């Protein structure tokens, strides 16, 4: 009788748990293989966020040098200094010898990376005012130096090699995480799988590095700081099997404190980019992708991710350019992760802060067309004429949407609108002012209205066959901010 009562009580408990959780009590966890991992959907918040801030900050911020050209990445300073086959080796080596001395070891930059002017609350407020919804900080780049007190970093390098042990003597990742979340934004991390000159990594057998360094270090940073985004990188030397990435992701999805919210990218082995739908696909200074996948373009305002003292104002995208980059990416269903490179003493360079402010001003007025928006049936509208060839690719394609929106000589086509939507409301992001705007194949209804975001004015419009013709000639200076205006069309036929 006692065993029957016990069984009955256990059964009722299981039913109660099922009702409270809405899922089977014995639901199988994600297994360490892609067939299982790919059953996990990408959390919806990421699709809606659209705009994030990337931050490259580390000991490379001390020399802060790279030649100004595509792939002129200052955060690769150490590799450029050491590797003769790197395209910037000669220039970086000459710069290093002239300014620090040929015998100056890279590790000696660590005490000079002091971050003495770092004010995380100020950074977070700048990010909030930019309109960004999430932030991703380089917790560890390929140099292996960590911005949190990682015991694995100090142990495997055999010297102080984290921001609490040397340099700032401060938990930079922890301080910024707290401030970013206090500002109402989601916080994420960039994490490099490999480390150029880590003594354990340089051994022929990479399994010790993976098992004894990477695994405990990754679990430590995730457990401590609970990132909503993990941007993995430095994966290209090994396969996902060699990295044991499926095992790491199974832990992340099953046991970690962020198992329900975390979003990860596609860089988990040299065979994983743009393959697995449980990860978002990445494009880097590329042409991007389309709304059939979840993707994110990551790029700097200039040519470098880390702060590069060689870049001048002419090397940076203008605020208007950045608005068009964001509009173009969102119209194709993607996110923009826009990078800043702080200085070694902990300041956001004035020019970068100014660009973020300009983006924020535009989003204050027009963010309705960006945040939570979906792709329209077509991402953009071209003018009449022959369309230019656009180099497609995910890395360093020299794709320049600003040029594609400029009226072209010889009657060649240019982009005259980008589209996003929410339900049956269409947003047309217009790159520059025109007195008359025709939107092709937009079918209206009796209740449709046409307005300009940020203005109370209703815009005159009429049907022209299957097109919508909008009269913008009555707009006054100030009705449209520099960069782009947004025409909102309600109750369109889908």
| Alpha carbon distance 73, 69 (integer Å) | 9
* pLDDT, tens only, 169-181: 999 999 999 999 9
Please compute, for residue 432, the number of CA atoms within 13 A of its CA located in the half-sphere on the CB side: 10
| Alpha carbon distance 317, 358 (integer Å) | 12
Residue 339 pairs with which residues in a beta bridge? 54, 300
| Alpha carbon distance 59, 113 (integer Å) | 6
Q: What is the mean pLDDT of residues 20-30?
A: 51
pLDDT of residue 12: 46
Given a cut of 50, whether residue 392 has pLDDT beyond it is yes
Q: Are 192 and 142 in contact (CB under 8 A)?
A: yes
* pLDDT, tens only, 113-134: 999 999 999 999 999 999 999 9
Neighbours of 424 (CB within 10 A): 13
Strand, coil or helix: 207? helix
Q: What is the mean pLDDT of residues 317-327?
A: 97
- What is the number of H-type helices and E-type strands within the chain? 15, 16
DSSP string, 395-416: B-----HHHHTSPPGGG---EE
Q: What is the mean pLDDT of residues 44-66?
A: 98
**More reliable by pLDDT, 25 or 427:** 427
Q: What is the mean pLDDT of residues 373-384?
A: 97
Given a cut of 80, whether residue 23 has pLDDT beyond it is no
Strand, coil or helix: 417? strand
Q: What is the mean pLDDT of residues 56-71?
A: 97
Given a cut of 60, whether residue 16 has pLDDT beyond it is no
Q: Are 142 and 374 in contact (CB under 8 A)?
A: no
481 pLDDT band (50/70/90 cuts)?
Answer: low
| Alpha carbon distance 80, 78 (integer Å) | 5
pLDDT of residue 494: 87
Given a cut of 50, whether residue 21 has pLDDT beyond it is no
pLDDT of residue 485: 94
* pLDDT, tens only, 189-204: 999 999 999 999 999 9
pLDDT of residue 15: 42
Rg (CA), the chain: 25
What is the dihedral angle through the alpha carbons of 362, 363, 365, 367, rounded to the nearest 10 degrees? 140
Please give the sequence-ordered ranges of beta strands (E in DSSP) within 357-466, or none if there are none: 374-382, 415-422, 425-430, 436-439, 450-452, 461-464
CA proximity to 105, closest of 113, 97, 115: 97
Q: What is the mean pLDDT of residues 426-442?
A: 95
| Alpha carbon distance 36, 33 (integer Å) | 6
Q: What whole-number percentage of the chain has pLDDT above 90?
A: 88
389: Cα separation from own chain's centroid: 26
* pLDDT, tens only, 73-102: 999 999 999 999 999 999 999 999 999 999
How, if at all, do strands 134-140 and 51-55 pair?
parallel
What sign for the dihedral angle of Cα 110, 111, 112, 117?
positive
Q: What is the mean pLDDT of residues 233-258?
A: 98
pLDDT of residue 333: 98
| Alpha carbon distance 370, 363 (integer Å) | 8
| Alpha carbon distance 226, 206 (integer Å) | 27
Q: How many residues does the chain have?
A: 494
195: Cα separation from own chain's centroid: 22
């Amino acid at each position: 009788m006692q065993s029957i009562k016990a069984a009955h009580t256990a059964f009722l408990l299981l039913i109660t748990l099922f009702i409270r959780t809405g899922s089977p009590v014995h639901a199988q966890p994600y297994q360490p293989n892609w067939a299982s991992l790919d059953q996990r959907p990408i959390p919806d918040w990421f699709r809606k966020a659209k705009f994030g801030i990337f931050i490259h900050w580390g000991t490379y911020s001390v020399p802060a040098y790279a030649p100004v050209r595509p792939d002129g990445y200052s955060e690769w300073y150490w590799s450029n200094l050491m590797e003769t086959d790197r395209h910037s080796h000669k220039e970086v080596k000459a710069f290093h010898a002239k300014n620090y001395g040929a015998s100056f070891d890279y590790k000696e930059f660590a005490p000079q990376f002091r971050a003495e002017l770092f004010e995380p609350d100020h950074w977070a407020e700048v990010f909030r005012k930019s309109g960004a919804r999430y932030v991703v900080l380089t917790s560890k780049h390929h140099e292996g130096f960590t911005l949190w007190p990682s015991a694995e970093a100090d142990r495997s390098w055999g010297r102080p090699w984290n921001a609490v042990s040397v340099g700032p003597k401060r938990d930079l990742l922890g301080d910024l995480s707290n401030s970013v979340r206090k500002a109402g934004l989601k916080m994420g991390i960039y994490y490099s799988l490999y480390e150029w000159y880590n003594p354990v990594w340089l051994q022929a057998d990479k399994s010790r590095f993976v098992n004894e360094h990477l695994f405990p270090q990754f679990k430590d940073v995730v457990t401590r700081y609970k990132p909503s985004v993990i941007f993995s990188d430095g994966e290209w030397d090994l396969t996902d099997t060699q990295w044991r990435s499926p095992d790491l992701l199974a832990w992340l999805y099953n046991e970690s404190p962020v198992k329900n919210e975390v979003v990860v990218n596609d860089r988990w082995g040299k065979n994983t980019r743009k393959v697995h739908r449980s990860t978002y696909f990445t494009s880097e200074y590329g042409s991007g992708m389309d709304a059939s996948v979840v993707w994110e373009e990551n790029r700097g305002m200039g040519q470098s991710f880390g702060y590069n003292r060689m870049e001048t104002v002419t090397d940076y995208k203008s605020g208007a350019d950045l608005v068009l980059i964001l509009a173009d990416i969102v119209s194709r269903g993607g996110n923009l992760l826009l990078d800043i490179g702080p200085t070694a003493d902990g300041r956001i360079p004035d020019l970068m802060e100014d660009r973020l402010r300009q983006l924020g001003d535009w989003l204050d007025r027009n963010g309705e067309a960006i945040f939570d928006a979906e792709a329209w049936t077509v991402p953009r509208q071209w003018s009449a004429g022959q369309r230019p060839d656009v180099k497609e690719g995910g890395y360093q394609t020299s794709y320049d949407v600003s040029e594609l929106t400029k009226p072209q000589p010889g009657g060649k086509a240019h982009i005259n609108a980008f589209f996003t939507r929410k339900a049956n409301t269409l947003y047309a992001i217009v790159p520059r002012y025109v007195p008359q705007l025709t939107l092709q194949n937009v079918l209206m209804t009796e209740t449709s209205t046409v307005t300009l975001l940020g203005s109370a004015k209703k815009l005159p419009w009429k049907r022209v066959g299957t097109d919508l013709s909008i009269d913008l000639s009555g707009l006054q200076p100030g009705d449209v901010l520099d960069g782009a205006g947004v025409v909102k069309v309600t109750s369109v036929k889908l």
